[in-house]
Structure 1
Amino acid sequence: MSKVLVTGGSGFVGSHVILQLLAAGHDVRTTVRNLAREPEVRATLAAAGADAEGLSFFAADLEKDEGWAEAVADCDYVHHVASPFPPAQPKDEQELIRPAREGTLRVLRAARDAGVKRVVVTSSFAAIGYGHGQRDTLYTEADWTNPDGPSVQPYMQSKTLAERAAWDFVAREGNGMELAVVNPVGIFGPALNGDLSTSVFLVRSMLEGKMPGTPRLYLGVVDVRDVADLHLRAMTDPAAAGERFLAVAGEAVSFHQMATVLRERLGPAAAKVPRRELPDWLIRLLALFNPLAREAVPRLGIKASASNAKARRVLGWTPRSNEEAIVASAESLIALGLV
């Protein structure tokens, strides 16, 4: 089977990509910023049922050149999953944009020099569905976030500029190396350890009763297992070369709908999940002194849904339902003792 590098192997998406690559029989290696994390990552994968004996680790940082040439040497494919995603927006947007963009270019440059056949970059719906104002139409892979548009936050800018840079690099300097891109919406599904996606952290906050009510916000949903599956399909399918694929299960759901699903499916375990939807005026009032509420205000009431038609048609991808992804998040948090 193929030799494959996964960047950011300790993260939520990266670990699931590694699990599926190992299950498919590939020779897998991964990067972490510090090799001290190797035992922890191995233990996480083993607990998830993986035989990680053949998995090898390399130290590499998105903001440094060292280590990348060694990590990609002799690889057939690379999944570039690692990207900064802080819990709060930084004061200086370049704290996010620079490592995302420059890190992507570092990985692509090293992959090209090593003769890698194809790189799959994990981008985001953040590079597709923002900066357009109010829009009722479905977003597709033809759409791009306007990084200078209204209420576009640094994270959205970072994902957009990093993906643009990737396409430009491969077109101008790729020397025949292929690129495919996966653009997930909010990533739910089973957590493997305490390294949670922002979306799973939202489920945790609901279960712990940290939300007195839900703001009128909407979120696209996809299961992390389906995101990993789409990565593997994009890695080997000839039709994926030069294409981007939205990873989304179905229509965007409101926070209130998510809370309802949790209460209906989990019973007593969801006793603290909020029952009421907060009015917009209250969120605007909270925004005067709460940074998270301030970030929410521009998105109140906007239901930005995206289409998965291309991934289904081109790659035969069949995702789990919104409900299954949300409930899997909650059940894993409970099983791991994280709530």
Structure 2
Amino acid sequence: MRVLVTGASGFVGSHAVAALLADGHEPLLLVRSPEKTREVLASVGVTGEIPLHKADIRDAAAVREALEQCDAVIHAAAEIGVIGRADDLNGTNVAGVKNVLGQAVELGLDPIVHISSVGVFVPPAGPVITTESPLSTPRNGYGRSKISAERYARRLQEQGMPITIVYPAGVTGPHQPSLDAMVEGLRAGLEQGWPITAGGANIVDVRDLAVVLARCLEPGRGPRRFMLGGHYLTWAQLADVCDEVTGNRCRRFRIHRSVLRGAAAVGDVMKLIKEIDYPLTRDAVEMMVTMVRTYDTPTLEALGVSLRPVQETIADSLRWLAQEGHLTTGKAGRLAG
């Protein structure tokens, strides 16, 4: 199947390309920078010639030209704004979604895979997040842009269009072009200590997510939604896993959720004045202290996917962080060898 992939120079998109090739698909990559894309793909083992379509996701005509060459699409391009300022949230996360999903529907592509986020359900309304959980009302621009895109995709589903929505949580693993919330949080936890507080983290390996995306490429199935939060760990459990794989003892400090919220809010103000090397923002804290486990069983059974052990994901992530110089060898422990 000829599959258009947006965001192929990103973390999820690059791994998705590798999974598509492994399953025998023919990807066409919509990218802004061919040079960066080739470099990122090489890091995940994709070194052959892959056709590229140079375009900006916000350019409807250019996106349509790429879609016209394909049977299906995986939309992975997105601005991430949980731990920092994204460049153009509405342009990429809203207009870009409409350019890809809306025009793919018009052209009859099937399936049309949209990567959303567990974040559209946070703060959660119950003890478990499912695909039927109510959408949240975000306080920040990033969250509002993701909700707008989510509502647009769901409107298309309600019309019977073959939109598949996938909801990953804390995507983790090696070869991340730029560190985002979960991987940055791992680095900070080892270097500066783990806040032991309410909530926890859902960790899904980027390679497992890529397999799920490739398995979604089954035409004729109509609208579908797949939850993929991965392994749920409390903050104490995550620190324990880091100890297990590194052979070190991470520093821990107990802190109440309200104190953590206040500290992060102060940090947000300070970051406007000077650069602070810590990914703790008010928005990130809200996800940290309210996160609950997700119900992934229907996804794993429908697509025939098994998640790798969380220890493997954490170990591979920390080993890569050390190799790339993002984590000191002392903090990486036995993984630095």
Could you say which TM-score interval applies, normalised by the shorter chain? 0.7 to 0.9
Q: CA RMSD in A?
A: 2.7
Q: Which amino acid aligns with 2:227?
A: L
Matches within 5 A, 1:87-106: 88=83, 96-97=89-90, 99-106=92-99
Q: Which amino acid aligns with 1:76?
A: D
Runs of 4+ in 1 over 6 A off after TM superposition: none
Rounded Cα–Cα distance in structure 2 between residues aligned with 1:218 and 1:153: 21
**Residue number among 97, 111, 119 corresponding to 1:126 in the alignment:** 119
| Residue 145 (structure 2) pairs with residue 158 (structure 1) | yes
- Calculate the TM-score normalised by the size of structure 2: 0.83
Can you list the C-alpha shifts for 1:271-310, whole angstroms capped at 9, x where unaligned? 6x43333344542452452124533554564341110111
Distance verdict in 2 for CA 1:39–1:298, change over 3 Å: closer
State how many pairs are aligned.
316
**Residue number among 309, 327, 331 corresponding to 2:297 in the alignment:** 309
Unpaired runs of at least 5, structure 1: none
Matches within 5 A, 1:128-147: 128-130=121-123, 132=125, 135-136=126-127, 138-147=128-137
| Residue 13 (structure 2) pairs with residue 23 (structure 1) | no
Q: Which amino acid aligns with 1:203?
A: L
Q: Tell me the residue number matched to 1:187.
A: 171
Q: Which amino acid aligns with 1:245?
A: F
Rounded Cα–Cα distance in structure 2 between residues aligned with 1:279 and 1:30: 45
Q: Which amino acid aligns with 2:179?
A: L
Distance verdict in 2 for CA 1:261–1:102, change over 3 Å: same
On the 8 A contact 2:30/2:55 being kept in 1, the answer is: yes
Rounded Cα–Cα distance in structure 2 between residues aligned with 1:260 and 1:27: 41
Q: Tell me the residue number matched to 2:5.
A: 6
Distance verdict in 2 for CA 1:290–1:306, change over 3 Å: same
Q: Tell me the residue number matched to 1:262.
A: 242
| Residue 189 (structure 2) pairs with residue 206 (structure 1) | yes
SS in 2 for 1:28: strand
Rounded Cα–Cα distance in structure 1 between residues aligned with 2:182 and 2:288: 17
On the 8 A contact 1:60/1:66 being kept in 2, the answer is: no
Unpaired runs of at least 5, structure 2: 269-279, 328-337
Can you list the C-alpha shifts for 1:242-268, whole angstroms capped at 9, x where unaligned? 110001223x21233222211221125
Distance verdict in 2 for CA 1:22–1:120, change over 3 Å: same
Deviation at 1:238, TM superposition (A): 5.0
Rounded Cα–Cα distance in structure 1 between residues aligned with 2:14 and 2:131: 25
Q: Tell me the residue number matched to 2:322.
A: 334
Q: Which amino acid aligns with 1:153?
A: N
Q: Tell me the residue number matched to 2:271.
A: none
**Residue number among 230, 237, 245 corresponding to 2:226 in the alignment:** 245
Distance verdict in 2 for CA 1:179–1:218, change over 3 Å: same
Rounded Cα–Cα distance in structure 1 between residues aligned with 2:12 and 2:215: 15
Rounded Cα–Cα distance in structure 2 between residues aligned with 1:215 and 1:293: 15
Q: Which amino acid aligns with 1:42?
A: R
Q: Which amino acid aligns with 1:100?
A: N
Can you list the C-alpha shifts for 1:74-105, whole angstroms capped at 9, x where unaligned? 201100011111254659xx952453122111
SS in 2 for 1:290: helix
Q: Tell me the residue number matched to 1:324.
A: 312
**Residue number among 55, 77, 99 corresponding to 1:60 in the alignment:** 55
Distance verdict in 2 for CA 1:28–1:74, change over 3 Å: same
